[in-house]
Every structure is written in structure tokens, then in C-alpha cells.
Amino acid sequence: MAETKTTKKTAKKAEEVKTIQQLREDLVAKTADQLQNKRANAAGELVNPRVITATRKEIARLNTAIRAAELAEKESK
């Protein structure tokens, strides 16, 4: 019989710990990138429009990380 492989999805470990301020700076940069990509797409200059989706997801991840860090900071007080 053929053996089946079972895989478990686990959360990725943080490679580096960032402060809330650093996360917010990254968020501002990603938001600017997204705006630039949207403009390039509208002008027909963007080669890969999937970049817009990837950037949107990165922004969502940053917002989630900021919120989690804020809640963790609030609980520690």
C-alpha cells in the first residue's frame, strides 16, 4: 500500500522582533508601495499585477502584528 504523508501547519517563528514603531514605519512604506503599484497598473506600466494583492496582504499582516503588539503591551501593564 502507498503511504500517505500527513503534514501539520505550524506558525512561523519570528525571525526578528520589531517594535510597534518599526511596524508602523513598515506599514507606511507598504502603503506607499501599494499606491505606487496601483498607479502603475492604471497606467499600464505594471508588469505583474499580483504585486498589488501581495502588498495588500502584507499590509493586513502588519496591521495584525501592530494590534497584537498593542494588546500584549496593554496586558503587561
pLDDT given for residue 6 in this prediction: 65
What is the distance between the alpha carbons of residues 5 and 76, in angstroms, rounded to a whole number?
Answer: 41
For the ranges 14-18, 19-23, 47-51, 58-62, which has the lowest average pLDDT?
A: 14-18
**Strand spans (E) along 1-77:** none
pLDDT band of residue 11 (cuts 50, 70, 90) is low
pLDDT given for residue 32 in this prediction: 98
What is the reported pTM?
0.77
pLDDT given for residue 37 in this prediction: 97
What is the distance between the alpha carbons of residues 66 and 58, in angstroms, rounded to a whole number?
Answer: 12
pLDDT at residue 34 greater than cutoff 60: yes
Q: 34 with 52: CB under 8 angstroms?
A: yes
- Kindly state the cell numbers that stand for 16: 526578528
- 28 CB-side CA count, 13 A: 5
Q: Give the domain ranges of the chain.
A: 20-76
